[in-house]
A and B are shown apart, each in its own frame.
Chain A
Amino acid sequence: MSQLQPLWTPHKALTPTLNAMYDQRTLAQRLHMDIPLLLGLLLLSGIGLAVLYSADGQDTSILIRQGIRLAIAFTAMFVLAQVPPRHLSFWTPWLYAIGIVLLIAVLAFGDVAQGAQRWIRIGPLNFQPSEMLKITVPMMVAYYLGARTLPPTFMRLLVAGIMVVVPTLLIARQPDLGTALLIACSGAFVLFLGGISLRLIAACAILASASAPVMWYLMHGYQRQRVLTFLDPEQDPLGAGYHIIQSKIAIGSGGTYGKGWLNGTQSQLDFLPERSTDFIFAVFSEEFGLSGVLTLIAIYLAVVFRGLYIASQAQDSYTRLLAGSLVLTFFVYIFVNIGMVSGILPVVGLPLPLLSYGGTSLVTVMAAFGILMSVHTHRRLISE
């Protein structure tokens, strides 16, 4: 009885088959999950909950609510990861068309919240069609360009441009400048990845800066105020500039190592407005300092680069363009939010994905990652 004997030893002939059965597809692959991406997202969600707990007066009820939202968002990611990219591709024109119709519907009879029409009621659900377009616009452009030869011809660029501009303008009219900006970006990223000529990009940039005065004219009062405040926050320290001044104080006073979790005076003592939503990064910076900020940015970059890697490994143009655009748009979120909280960009109401408290955009972001995972885990041995 010196050694334990296995109860049953399979016949040697069966071994390769069995090995193939167990080894070829890991559990993650069968669930269509990408482990590095999933770990990164979970890590960010965890950090988000911890900061939120501190930012919102150490209230556990908000943690529960955010937890439920995260669960819904991760579920959305999981569900989308199961859908093979070719199904997505097939449904793309339809989804895009539905999105445009809903946007028009919102403008016609949507609910007004905080002076903007963004919501539409479908049965018991409040639904924000603009969120859906954050995904369907890059899908549509990728679908259109991916099915044709790359780099696209000028005519195709024009058609693709219209596909982006129409929903962008509709959303800007709601008005929701942040989302409009993101959707324009997501479309532009597809064009960029699709090989649009650099000369055209330069021309667009010149056109955009030339149209700035026109944009100024079209802006709402509060939007203009945000730009003015961005240019000179001190001009109105108790009004519009208050957010950005307090936010900079919070970040700056965090120093290298921060004031410690739950010890940020700016956040704990109510000086920092919107601290559980758009300005949560200021809370994080105050409490964890530069060391924490570098760690957080590193995690975000890891997620972005993993996403770009997935996009580069995709097997057709549609999935490459779509995945690349979604990841770059995710980065735009991060850049714009941190840029605005730290005072190098104007205040546009964009949340910091996975850290800010809030539901709808979270679901959209996670849905995008679901598509990325789907792209990565539905690859076939032979590229089509």
Chain B
Amino acid sequence: MKPIHTIKDIAAEARIIRGRMIAACFGVLLLAGLLVLRMIQLQVVEYEHFSTLSEDNRVKIVALAPTRGLIYDRNGVQLAQNTPTFTLEVVPENVEDMDALLLELGELVEITSEDIERFRRMLKKKRRFQSVPLRHRLKEEEVARFSVNRHRFPGVDVQARLTRSYPLGASAVHLIGYVASMNEEDLQRVDAARYRGTTHIGKTGVEQAYESVLHGKPGIQRVETNAQGRILRVLERTDPVPGSNITLTIDASLQAVAERALGLENGAVVAVDPATGGVLAFASTPVYDPNPFVDGIDSKTYRALLASPERPLFNRALNGQYPPGSTVKPFVGLAGLELEAVTVDHEIFCPGYFRLPGRERRYRDWKKWGHGKVDVTRSIVESCDVYYYTLARELGIGRLHDYLSLFGFGRRTGLVLQGESAGLMPSAEWKRKAKGQAWFPGETLITGIGQGFMLATPLQLAMAAATLSTRGVRLRPQVVLRRDDPATQETVELVPETLETIAPRLEANWQTIINAMTDVVHGPRGTARRIGVGATYRIAGKTGTAQLFGIAQNEEYDAEKVDKKLRDHALFIAFAPVDNPRIALAVLVENGGGGSKVAAPIARKMMDHYFQQVLDTADEQLILTATELPAAANP
């Protein structure tokens, strides 16, 4: 057993502790040296590496979306503009309780259930730190009310940005189209570099067709961001290049006249300048407001548009394919003359029906008791069906198909708008291919009066009328009058593009047809003589009534008894002034009934407006033709 207290050797103990302390000093120096070496390694040896990483951390490249080009009508009326709007946006990661937030915000700013639905949909697609729009187009007082209460809502902010808007609303929507948020498909299709920072893209109409012109070039901004990606400072900036402004060939007021004239009817009006192919009016009714599409249309409204029996989203002018009915007669008549199937004064007796030799079936004329003796002029003026049954049979479907195709029937006109329909110019070959059936002689007859398989779009009809007016110069329809690039100050003007020229065999044949069409409006027996009354210029036109269902041999067609949906389509094609054509147009009213009663007056309204309001009234040539009007104008 050792004693509890041994004798301490104080000096020896002090020596031990001092010795250990000296060792500790070396240990401390060694470890401190290790730290210093590490610091030299990080801050001197690897400085470049970490400096680059640090720079990468803080500097991000942000694309600046270019300002989209504006769209004007030919007189400078804005059709599509960029309006500064205020959007209420939410950064999800800064919000603790989203439901409570929406509820509270709802007390300050009107938030509909559609807004919330759309917001939640976008919430899923975006990253947590990305701003998601909740309410578009805040009113000024809403912005003010929110600003005062902003401190209560971390993560919520009002963003000012340029939003596409269409000041005329629904007018010309089928031509102008609209922009909407880019979807997955768009993102894959476009050049990602050009669309950095851009959220919207042209979806339909001119907005879609001229996307590359309107879009512009994005700018680049090198910004300093913090760890959350919030931009703190702009280090360098290359401004975006705005897109070109586009001036359309259409006249907004003429467009409005067309749409008002169509009224509640479903239909289409296409008016073109025959000299240039420039489209003056491009109406399809019913119209719809494109503005909601820009912000992301709510599904209820969209479903309603889709489900509407009137089909407002359907572009009737471009995609509506209708039997052209009697409007095809001037072309068939011209074919007869030019292909020497008939002569100008050759007469056919019309008893009110036509019968193929050896067949029982009667092909009826619209005039039950017949037109009597009819030459080509009278056949157009009075729209005699029997004359065209006879002529069609004479020509045969092959020649009929080939000649009418020259006017663009059955072929796309080449308008830039996406998805143009080609219509249908039937032939024996086509029928064999499409239906696997032989062509029947009766089908040639009804093709001669624009019935049967034949289909044409209102745009095709307008272009065919224009081709007639220019004596065979077939132009591509165009919608852009001028493109102004604000960056380079360059202007690209419309250059008329001749697709092909139909060389007249005999100029007089064309004159005969045009004269006959003039008599349709101005002659005492013309089917559209009512619209010739009081006209200060001369119109060449042709009415058409397209039957939608066959009437039994001995039955009478009575519009009153027929369901509206099955009632005839009313058509009218025209150009004016006859000697110096400035406008050619086609009018179609679905289930409108007779072309003379329904479609022709719309054309007259358009022309009156065009000559009196749009064109310079001092235009000598117009007045000249107006004063030389024949007395026949008043039957």
Contacts and interface: CB of A to CB of B under 8 A. Distances in A.
Interface of A: 148-151, 189, 192-195, 246, 248-256, 265-266, 269-271, 285, 289-290, 293-294, 297, 300-301, 304-305, 308, 311-312, 316-317, 320-321, 324, 328, 331, 335, 338-339, 342-344, 383
B17 interface: yes
Interface string B11-32: 0111011101100110011011
Contacts of B434: none
A270 B25 CA distance: 38
B44 interface: yes
**Size class of the contact patch on chain B:** 35 or more
A297 B36 contact: yes
30 contacts: A149-B8, A150-B16, A192-B20, A192-B24, A193-B20, A194-B17, A195-B20, A249-B53, A251-B43, A255-B47, A255-B51, A256-B43, A265-B54, A265-B224, A266-B54, A269-B224, A270-B226, A271-B227, A285-B43, A290-B43, A293-B43, A305-B25, A312-B17, A320-B14, A321-B17, A328-B24, A331-B28, A338-B35, A342-B35, A343-B38
A342 B31 CA distance: 14
Contact of A195 (B16, B44, B51): B16
Contacts of A189: 24
Contacts of B225: 269
Which 6 pairs between the two chains have the least Cβ-Cβ distance? A252-B50, A253-B54, A270-B227, A269-B226, A195-B16, A290-B43
Nearest to B57: A271
A127 B244 CA distance: 71
Interface of B: 6-10, 12-14, 16-18, 20-21, 24-25, 28-29, 31-32, 34-36, 38-40, 42-44, 46-47, 49-51, 53-55, 57-58, 224-228, 232
A119 B298 CA distance: 55
B17 A317 contact: yes
Given A150-B16, A301-B32, A304-B28, A342 B227 contact: no
Contacts of A294: 36, 39
A316 B50 CA distance: 51
B31 A335 contact: yes
A252 B51 CA distance: 7
B471 to A, nearest CB: 73
A301 B46 contact: no
A255 B42 CA distance: 8
Contacts of A149: 6-9, 13
A52 B17 CA distance: 38
A252 B41 CA distance: 8
Of the listed residues B6, B14, B39, the one surrounded by the most CB atoms of chain A closer than 10 A to its CB is B39
Contacts of B232: 269
Contacts of B18: 312
Contact of A317 (B13, B43, B50, B54): B13
Nearest to B50: A252
Contacts of B46: 252
Contacts of A304: 28
Given A249-B54, A324-B21, 4 more contacts: A195-B17, A308-B21, A308-B25, A331-B28
Contacts of B35: 297, 335, 338-339, 342
A317 B38 CA distance: 36
Contact of B32 (A148, A249, A297): A297
A148 B49 CA distance: 56
Nearest to A321: B17
Contacts of B6: 148-149
Nearest to A150: B13
A197 to B, nearest CB: 11
B17 A324 contact: yes
Given A256-B43, A285-B43, A293-B43, A265 B58 contact: yes
A220 to B, nearest CB: 27
A253 B17 contact: no
Contacts of A252: 42-43, 46-47, 49-51, 53-54
A312 B13 CA distance: 12
Nearest to A294: B36
Of the listed residues B17, B25, B35, B57, the one surrounded by the most CB atoms of chain A closer than 10 A to its CB is B17
A149 B29 CA distance: 30
A254 B42 CA distance: 9
Contact of A290 (B20, B44, B58): B44
Of the listed residues B12, B24, B44, the one surrounded by the most CB atoms of chain A closer than 10 A to its CB is B24
B25 to A, nearest CB: 6
A342 B24 contact: no
Given A253-B54, A266-B57, A193 B17 contact: yes
Contact of A255 (B14, B44, B226): B44
A193 B44 contact: no
Contacts of B28: 301, 304-305, 308, 328, 331
A320 B17 contact: yes
Contacts of B9: 149
Contact of A251 (B29, B50, B58): B50
Contact of B42 (A193, A194, A248, A271): A248
Contacts of B54: 249-250, 252-253, 265-266
A346 to B, nearest CB: 14
Nearest to A196: B20
A342 B16 contact: no
A224 to B, nearest CB: 24
Contacts of A269: 57-58, 224-227, 232
Nearest to B9: A149
Contacts of A301: 28-29, 32
Contacts of A192: 20, 24
